[in-house]
Amino acid sequence: MQYKKKALVLGAGGFIGSHMVRRLVSEGYWVRGVDLKYPEFSETQAHEFVQGDLRDPYFTRKCLEYKGTGGKFYEEIPYKYVHTFDEVYQFAADMGGAGFVFTGENDAEIMQNSVTINLNVLEEQRKLNETFHGETKSWTECNRPRLDWQTKIFYSGSACMYPEHNQLDPDNPDCREDSAYPANPDSEYGWEKLFSERLYLAYSRNHGIPVRIARYHNIFGPEGTWQGGREKAPAAICRKVAYAGNTDTIEVWGDGEQTRSFLYIDECIEATRRLMDSDFIGPVNIGSEEMVTINQLVDTAAKVAGKKIQKNHIDGPLGVRGRNSNNDLIREKLGWDYEQSLEEGIRKTYEWIKYQTVKEPFMDVPSLAEYELTAAG
In a domain, 345, yes or no: no
Q: What is the pTM of this model?
A: 0.89
Stretches where the chain sits below pLDDT 70 are 95-102, 132-149, 359-377
Angle at 96 between CA 93 and CA 102, to 5 degrees: 115
In a domain, 266, yes or no: yes
Q: Which residues partner with 51 through β-bridges? A: 35
Distance, in Å, from the CA atom of 162 to the CA atom of 323, rounded to the nearest integer, reads 9
Residue 282 is predicted with a pLDDT of 96
In a domain, 22, yes or no: yes
Domain that includes residue 116, residue range: 6-225+262-290+323-340
Q: What is the dihedral of CA 108, 112, 113, 114, to 10 degrees?
A: 110
In a domain, 140, yes or no: yes
**For residue 289, which of 249, 325, 257, 244 has the smallest C-alpha distance?**
325
Distance, in Å, from the CA atom of 241 to the CA atom of 354, rounded to the nearest integer, reads 9
Distance, in Å, from the CA atom of 27 to the CA atom of 5, rounded to the nearest integer, reads 9
How many domains are there within the chain? 1
In a domain, 43, yes or no: yes
- 38 in active site: no
Residue 372 is predicted with a pLDDT of 42
CB proximity list for 115: less than 8 A, separation 6 or greater? 192, 195, 196, 199
Report CA-CA distances (Å) from 254 to 89, 118, 260: 35, 34, 14
In a domain, 254, yes or no: no
Residue 250 is predicted with a pLDDT of 93
CB contact at 8 A, 325 and 363:
no
Residue 133 is predicted with a pLDDT of 59
Distance, in Å, from the CA atom of 264 to the CA atom of 262, rounded to the nearest integer, reads 7
Angle at 232 between CA 9 and CA 263, to 5 degrees: 70
b/e sequence 172-211, b meaning 16+ C-beta within 10 Å = ebbbeeeebeeebbbbbbbbbbbbbbebbbebbeebebeb
At 193, phi and psi to the nearest 5?
-60, -40
Residue 220, H or E segment: strand 219-220
CATH number at residue 109: 3.40.50.720
User: CB-side exposure of 215: number of CA atoms within 13 Å?
Assistant: 28
In a domain, 97, yes or no: yes
Residue 199 is predicted with a pLDDT of 98
CB proximity list for 171: less than 8 A, separation 6 or greater? 259, 322
In a domain, 349, yes or no: no
Residue 245 is predicted with a pLDDT of 92
Catalytic residue among 162, 189, 216, 350: 189
CB contact at 8 A, 275 and 217:
no
Calculate the CA 371 to chain-centre distance: 21
Report CA-CA distances (Å) from 208 to 68, 168, 196, 253: 25, 38, 17, 45
CB proximity list for 287: less than 8 A, separation 6 or greater? 159, 215, 216, 217, 218, 261, 263, 324, 325, 327, 338
